[in-house]
Structure 1
């Protein structure tokens, strides 16, 4: 009887092996270093993305890649962040990458997702620990960024954060902490003139801004107005996903387009 069913058993084993192979991340051939433009994505949950993933967010583009949790370059399909598995969703990064890729058919975009939901800016310093995610946001980001730089060229740093500092205890120190963070990143990554782009906090019904939210917003605006190679991106008219905290998927995509527009406007005119 065992001989009679042997072919079926072999067929099942063969099918399972195909499933295992299919589950492996798609390997990609990287372009020359000068054609591989890298962008570091840092901040808290609105950089990581919490939008509902749809079919369009799963469409791979061979010229828009992401550095996954294992440190492998794979096609950028949402969610690209992994700070909170099962919660991370559509963010602004993938759309940003697609928009930049459109501008030059010879370049490939590499996204380096490092945002951690719920983190105040005080978690983005060397040695700081985030108990909620059991991570060290800055210390985990740095080796990932340096690994990526072995393959490509850092062209921009995208920052969306501030909800965690919109309170009396932290808002007054926000600009000082932001200035120190940018200086540290520029030094650590040898990026003195790389664009640093800040996205505005969400303006959502049900979560009206108070004096602390305005203080963070003012600090972010003031930083970009008084420092070179920095830009501020508006969140005007964007919508939340119903929680008064996170953008919805369509708004994340629009935010990605706004970041891309800001970045392209900072480049020297050809």
Structure 2
């Protein structure tokens, strides 16, 4: 009996050791995988949100073009790095090494193209409008990209009509000064008078001479709206074959430059007026409006930045703003912050270290939020 007990004991011990070795082997494999998650990182794993590759077919331009107006500052302009493939956090690394976002590449490893989604990006340059992009939605030949890439893929997949992504913005702009919407009034903060719409300079002390600046409150709002209207007035030039259009929605991602106590304190009321002004200027009173929170530092965001994020979340609270219920939605972006050690850039925290995953996931969240407001979200 003792001999059999000894054999059984050895067998049990061997089996336990084998199981332990298997577990350790899997841990080693996962830890060496380029697609591993860092603790705290999140991305969309909803199976209903996984996109197929584009079918390569154009949309029917006899139908009105669904126009989505994208506005903001530099991160809406687009700071996600595309290459090189060997650098963690670039789009090439994510698609080719980590095997993420398979709808962006074909079987040969080339970037896919959506011929049903037109991407137009315009920017103010001096006294005129610069056309930065006017092309079908794809990655090449860009070196950087913004939330429009994934947002556009979602809209193209869900909508039968032709889609126009009309991005009109420029970097380093605040909502409290540059993008201040029409109707905004002067106010006083800590002894200074701050500009209302079309006032200049940004602030002054009552009874003292004003500084002279070649700008006015809301000038960037006027430029961005004016440039977008120029594009729409020549629709066929920017969407070949298109005849008519409908403003289908607005997309906004902004807030870095407002991170001062004074502008942060006004951000919520400025944002409410911004939403209403855009709808009025484009004669689209019921068009859905989606926006993302700022997310600098992820959930460590504090001070005026946290005030801004809370203001951005507040506008989609139906209890606080019942008129926005079902037509304004804010997406929480702090889950999409990535640290510098897994990013292409080690210094530009204000550009999310140029991490492509951040820009893809923000665009993804904005896209599915828009789908929900349009009644197109999968169930």
Please confirm whether the aligned pair reaches a TM-score higher than 0.5, indicating the same fold: yes
Give 1:184's aligned residue.
277
Asked if 1:76 is matched to 2:130, the reply is: no
8 Å Cα contact 2:147-2:362 kept in structure 1: yes
Q: Deviations over 1:231-251 (max 9, x none)?
A: 011113313443222231122
In the aligned structure 1, how far is the partner of 2:199 from the partner of 2:74? Answer: 18
Asked if 1:124 is matched to 2:229, the reply is: no
**Match for residue 95 of structure 1 among 150, 163, 182:** 150
8 Å Cα contact 1:199-1:259 kept in structure 2: yes
1:136 Cα deviation (Å)? 4.5
SS in 2 for 1:181: helix
In the aligned structure 1, how far is the partner of 2:296 from the partner of 2:279? Answer: 30
Asked if 1:213 is matched to 2:283, the reply is: no
Normalised TM-score (structure 1): 0.74
Question: 5+ unaligned residues in a row in structure 1: which ranges?
Answer: 1-27, 82-87
Asked if 1:43 is matched to 2:68, the reply is: no
1:184 Cα deviation (Å)? 1.1
**Match for residue 231 of structure 1 among 329, 332, 351:** 329
In the aligned structure 2, how far is the partner of 1:116 from the partner of 1:80? Answer: 20
Inter-CA distance 221–185: structure 2 relative to 1 (3 Å threshold): same
1:78 Cα deviation (Å)? 4.6
Inter-CA distance 80–94: structure 2 relative to 1 (3 Å threshold): farther
Give 2:369's aligned residue.
262
Question: 5+ unaligned residues in a row in structure 2: which ranges?
Answer: 1-57, 84-91, 93-103, 106-110, 123-129, 183-197, 201-212, 236-244
Normalised TM-score (structure 2): 0.54
In the aligned structure 2, how far is the partner of 1:60 from the partner of 1:102? Answer: 12
In the aligned structure 2, how far is the partner of 1:93 from the partner of 1:210? Answer: 27
Inter-CA distance 30–45: structure 2 relative to 1 (3 Å threshold): farther
SS in 2 for 1:112: strand
Asked if 1:175 is matched to 2:278, the reply is: no
- After superposition, residues 20-31 of structure 1 pair within 5 angstroms as 31=61
Give 2:187's aligned residue.
none
SS in 2 for 1:99: helix
In the aligned structure 2, how far is the partner of 1:267 from the partner of 1:148? Answer: 24
8 Å Cα contact 2:77-2:171 kept in structure 1: yes
Superposed CA RMSD in Å reads 3.3
Inter-CA distance 269–136: structure 2 relative to 1 (3 Å threshold): closer
Inter-CA distance 93–204: structure 2 relative to 1 (3 Å threshold): same
8 Å Cα contact 2:168-2:225 kept in structure 1: no
In the aligned structure 2, how far is the partner of 1:33 from the partner of 1:73? Answer: 20
Q: Deviations over 1:34-82 (max 9, x none)?
A: 2x1111110111211101124659543211212244558421345899x
